[in-house]
Homo-oligomer: A and B are copies of this chain.
Amino acid sequence: MSQPYTPTPRTRLVREADRAVYDREAAYRILDEGFLCHVGFVTDGQPFVIPTSYGRKDASLFIHGSAASRMLRTVKESVPVCITVTLLDGLVLARSIFNHSMNYRSVVVLGKATLVDDPAEKLEALRLLSEHIIPGRWADSRQPNERELKATSVLRVPIEEFSAKVRKGPVVDDEEDYSFPTWAGLVPLEMVAGEPIADARLDPKREVPSYAKHYKRKG
């Protein structure tokens, strides 16, 4: 069921309001198809944007990293962050340069990150993160030990203030340009997985698990 969501002045789209999606379930679908986000935070007035993976459960995003990283050091002080996820679906080749565009789906989440301190919650957040990227892998791997858990920080960002933006469908040209003598249309783009490459030190008899063999972005 779709839950209504009222954008704040900070997340209401200023431009191209027809591309705005304020539907929580639609935003979740985008967040669940991607697994790479760009996290923005501010240090001494300078914005930083760092790529990292994430997981989601209900209205929470989880990111993780070394407890020693600049991002985690900054962000765990409960400072404002922005988490953006972008899925690129294709190039839109219009007749006019001006109407060229991209088909994409993106979500921007504004919020404050908080440290996940409780050991059981932290382990569960790491499991969510792993399962978000490649479902099935967690159970097949050597589980984190205490030292590793200590070296890892996990942050939770609530999905409260957000906006999603979607551009899909065909070229839109100005009426007088439809007769312009050039090709126009879409070039679809997709992230695809290649054949898995077994580690050199792996027992050659060990089979490739299906989650690696048939890896696909969800959605």
Please choose the segment from A23-31, A55-63, A75-83 that sits at the chain B interface, where 4 or more of its residues have CB less than 8 A away: A75-83
> What chain B residues lie within 8 Å of A47 (beta carbons)?
40-42, 47, 80-82
Task: Determine whether A168 belongs to the interface, using a CB cutoff of 8 Å to chain B.
Answer: no
Distance to closest chain B CB from A216 (angstroms): 10
Distance to closest chain B CB from A121 (angstroms): 16
Please, what's the 1-or-0 string for A116-143, where 1 marks a CB less than 8 Å from any CB in chain B? 0000000000100010011001101111
* Contact call B190/A191, Cβ cutoff below 8 A: yes
> What chain B residues lie within 8 Å of A170 (beta carbons)?
199-200
* A38-71 interface with B by 8 A CB criterion: 38-43, 45-51, 53, 65-66, 68-70
Tell me whether A48 and B191 are in contact in the complex, defined as CB-CB below 8 angstroms, given that A70-B14, A97-B141, A141-B182 are known contacts: no
Distance to closest chain B CB from A205 (angstroms): 11
In the complex, the count of this chain's copies comes to: 2
> What chain B residues lie within 8 Å of A188 (beta carbons)?
193-197
* Contact call A40/B196, Cβ cutoff below 8 A: no
Give Cα A185 to B183, complex, Å: 42
* Contact call A183/B195, Cβ cutoff below 8 A: no
Tell me whether A148 and B98 are in contact in the complex, defined as CB-CB below 8 angstroms, given that A42-B47, A50-B108, A191-B190 are known contacts: yes
Contacting A49 at CB < 8 Å: which of B102, B108, B190, B197? Answer: B108
Give Cα A36 to B104, complex, Å: 11
- Show the binding face of A for B, using Cβ within 8 Å: 10, 14-16, 36, 38-43, 45-51, 53, 65-66, 68-70, 73, 80-84, 86, 88, 90-91, 93-98, 100, 102, 104, 106, 108, 110, 126, 130, 133-134, 137-138, 140-145, 148, 152, 170-171, 177-178, 180-202, 206-209, 212, 215
- Offer 29 A-B interface pairs, CB within 8 angstroms, sorted by A: A10-B43, A15-B69, A36-B86, A36-B88, A36-B102, A38-B49, A39-B49, A40-B48, A41-B47, A47-B81, A47-B82, A49-B82, A50-B108, A53-B102, A91-B215, A95-B141, A97-B130, A97-B148, A98-B144, A98-B145, A181-B206, A183-B202, A183-B208, A185-B199, A186-B196, A188-B197, A189-B193, A189-B194, A191-B192
